[in-house]
Structure 1
Amino acid sequence: MQTEAAAKTVERSRTDVAAVNASDSDLVLLYPRPVTRTRMGAAMSDPSLFDLLDWDQLSNADGESYLLKVEQLVSQLRGKLFVDRSGSGVDLRIAGIDDTVYSEDTEVVDSWGKFYLPQEVKMCVFAVVEGPSSTTALVLMTCEDRKMYGYDGEDLHEVASDLKELCFKGLEYPASKSYYHGEAFKDMTDDEWAEVRKGAVGKRLDKEHQKLVKAVKSQFLESLS
């Protein structure tokens, strides 16, 4: 039997949802978050992100099998909004790559799995964060290592150790562990780098380098005129 306090909490939760968007049937509440982390747990009897995961299957899947299950999950929950009722304004919407601002930017999308982490991986977009300017359009993704990463347009941040931590402890952003574009190559030997330059990744890096040189040259000439 619910206590009076619990009943009031449920009612307040329902009111908060209605206040965010009364017409959005996809709203799901989150726990209030502390200052630096967004809570994504259940709110009383309302379904949470974790409630909607088949965690047993996800936790037992590896590599490609894990990514396939995440893709299926995104397909099932696509568009669903998980609301942080603490008033922070930071919410999470389940999304695929086609739902992000990078849907047609193949170079950026390819770079997530090739240019940031020590080992090349395959990234699967899971959600986008909606809210204040500091976190708006943060794209959440995961790969074979099960960790959750967030891309903010510059760096790749390790925002949670896995989906379970994302649900119960929230995402950490800015993260204590982040990777910059090109960090994947920082410890390469000359021989390893020479091998990379022969392949598609090396050709793309050369292309980006030439583009940068051209842009800098153009700016320099403009400054002289």
Structure 2
Amino acid sequence: MGLLQKVKTEFLLCERGKEAFPPETPFNFLQTACRDIKMVTMSSSDSGISPVMRDKSLWKLVCPGCQRGPKKKSWMKISHYIDAVEFLGQIKEIVSKHRNNKILLAKPKSYELRIGGLEDTVHAGDGEQLEVWKDCYLPERMEMVVIGALDDFRCSAAGWQLVLLLCEDGNVYAYEFEVLHLVARSLEDLFETGAEFPGLEKFRFGECFEELSEEEMKKEMQCDEIKKIDDEHIHFRRRLQIEMLEDLKAISQSEVIMIQTEGMRDTTKHDKSVYIEIRESLRLK
């Protein structure tokens, strides 16, 4: 059996939930990920084992075959020692190992996914941005990891760079300015059919937060943190008023000085003209 066929067979075994792998396989990072993980998608009607992997790239990642989309949330249970966070941690390690490799996507046409983490994007050094993606877009907080980017992508994203994220529910999202686009239901879909942009669904910043009722709002406004902010705001306004009054007073004093100075100049000019007139009259005499 050739190497390529052997790898395909390992992918299929992993897809069927098998745990045994030939010890001679050279793809140790895939072997470890596949051996230790079972993805079990759970819905109201069925459950099954579906880690989906293919051989179209150098680094095919373990991913849940989440086919139902976020509105009928398919959740994965990960047995054998690890949970979703650890799973995404393994994905992050694989991304790091194969960073800057490129995978040609079917969609958008002619674009390549450049493998990389957060530090390989325009958001490098901005760890808070990743937390915002997790907290402020989807209906529920979801763990995510950056898997790469589409460079020179004409859209409203910073630096014309579309950042792709793998979510714990198996979906792949792309970040455009204050919008998360659901571009693929799984990594399998991403590699097979490409990234749908604009997304299959869009999640805008802050839409996930429910509007509070009047009573809930009043209760929230009574919390210590809000009171502290209100007090700081009041003190700030008072300091600003004092500074403005002092500035107005200084301006007013400056205007008085200017008026007095101009008056003195006018008086000096008048006195000089009178002196000239007297001198001329004396000459005539």
Aligned partners of 2:108, 2:164: CA distance in 1, in Å?
21
Q: Which residue of 1 aligns with 2:137?
A: 116
Q: Is residue 177 of structure 2 the alignment partner of residue 153 of structure 1?
A: yes
Gapped runs of 5+ residues in structure 2? 1-52, 65-76, 234-285
State the Cα distance separating 1:105 from its structure 2 match. 2.9
Deviation of residue 99 (structure 1)?
A: 0.8
Q: Which has the bigger relative contact order, CA under 8 A and spacing at least 6?
A: 1
1:125 aligned to 2:125? Answer: no
Residue 167 (str. 1) matches residue 174 (str. 2): no
Distance in 1 between residues matched to 2:130 and 2:107, nearest whole Å: 32
Return the offset for 1:74: 0.5
Deviation of the 1:192 alpha carbon: 8.6
In structure 2, do the counterparts of structure 1 residues 119 and 188 end up closer, same or farther at CA, with 3 Å as the change threshold? farther
Q: 1:181 aligns with which of 202, 205, 225?
A: 205
- Aligned in 2, Cα 1:91/1:186: closer, same or farther, shift over 3 Å? same
Give 3-state SS (helix, strand or coil) of 2:95's partner.
helix
Please give the root-mean-square deviation of Cα atoms over the aligned residues, in Å: 3.6
Normalised by the length of structure 1, the TM-score is 0.57
Shift of 1:86: 9.2
The question of whether the paired residues in 1 share the 8 Å contact of 2:145 and 2:166 is answered with yes
CA distance in 1, matches of 2:102, 2:133: 24
Q: Shift of the alpha carbon at 1:196?
A: 11
- The counterpart of 2:103, out of the listed 74, 77, 82, is 82
The match for 1:141 among 165, 169, 180 is 165
The 2-side partners of 1:162 and 1:117 are apart by 16
Give 3-state SS (helix, strand or coil) of 1:167's partner: helix
Residue 188 of structure 1 deviates from its aligned partner by 5.3
Q: Does 1:91 align with 2:115?
A: no
Give the Å deviation of 1:189: 5.1
What displacement does 1:106 show? 3.8
TM-score by length of 2: 0.46
What residue number does 1:53 align with? Answer: 60
Summarize the Cα distance change of 1:76–1:120 in structure 2 as closer, same or farther, 3 Å threshold: same
Identity %: 27
Gap runs ≥5 in structure 1: 1-40, 211-225
Aligned length: 156
Q: SS at the partner of 1:142? A: strand
